[in-house]
Chains A and B, each alone.
Chain A
Amino acid sequence: MIINHPLLGPRDSEEFVYLGSTDLINRPTNWEDEASAEDFYQYQYIRDNIAGDHQELWYHEQGDQSWLVVSRNTLTHEITNVELAQDVARTMGRGK
């Protein structure tokens, strides 16, 4: 599988490590709140098992050590979009 890295161009997926769904970016920020246990439970364990287009986090460990958001079809393995996770997180209003 080839991942088209936004900064480096096409790279073999052997260089990458897979983490999971992009939902992991949205870690609850209300950790001081007593009710946050339920939010963290949802965040940590509850996932949709998508058959189709899936947004996922990949880490370019044997490369520039960037985190990527890869849009991949879980049925065909076709990759339709690759972005830097840093940019995606910022558009979600996270980070600086």
Chain B
Amino acid sequence: MSDYELLPESPLGGVEIELDGFNITEVTDKSLVMVALPRDKYSDIESSIDKSCGLKLPEMEHSTESKDSSITLWRLQKNQVLAYFTYEGHDAESHLSSQLNAPAYYTDQSDTWAMIRVSGNRSRDVLERICPIDLSPEVFSVGRVSRTIMEHIGTIIFRDGDDSYVLLTMRSFGRSMLHAIEVSADNVL
């Protein structure tokens, strides 16, 4: 029997593209865990995550950050939050649950999403052609997050800086999303 050595690979192979005023990079240093909030534990969770990490539960389509900025919570639904945090290991779920130390339900989603960061002063010009939500800087301010559809692909968009956005699509759609961004960049730049 042959000896196989299997190596983990990110959904887009660590893609990095630099254009004039616009950069595309795959995000590979983050993990994602869904944190479901049972209705009767809501206030318990609120006080536990505040105590453990200095985190608040965000308002709909907003985000909050832990004291050390390593964990970001996204509120895309009423009864759950998505945790986006710095972690590259293979057990994101227990890593996060031990950090938050709150009576919620955790589901690891790290490997199911492709994460692409688009940045640069032309990023909004490229995105506005494929994104149906209003991205004007004062409406979609830094820290805002939304789930929508771009080029028929379900996408989460998170603004993590003045000219920086993270786009998440299901892993199997990663290449299609990258293509959509490249085509839009081609049309605009």
Complex CA distance for A8 and B60, rounded to whole angstroms: 7
The total of Cβ contacts below 8 Å across the A-B interface reads 32
Contacts A7-B60, A11-B133, A14-B132 given; does A64 touch B149 at CB 8 Å: no
A47-64 toward B: CB 8 Å interface, digit per residue (1/0)? 000000000000001111
Is there contact, CB below 8 Å, between A66 and B60? no
List residues of chain B with CB within 8 A of the CB of A12: 132, 148-149
- How many chain A residues touch B (CB < 8 A): the figure is 12
Contact at B147–A62, with CB atoms within 8 Å? yes
| A14 pairs with B149, CB closer than 8 A | yes
Cα(A61)–Cα(B147), bound, Å? 10
Which residues of A have CB within 8 Å of B132? 11-12, 14-15
Instruction: Verify B148–A7 contact, CB threshold 8 A.
Output: no
| Residues on B facing A (Cβ under 8 Å) | 60-61, 76-78, 132-133, 146-149, 154
Please list the residues of chain A having a beta carbon within 8 angstroms of any beta carbon in chain B: 7-8, 11-12, 14-15, 61-66
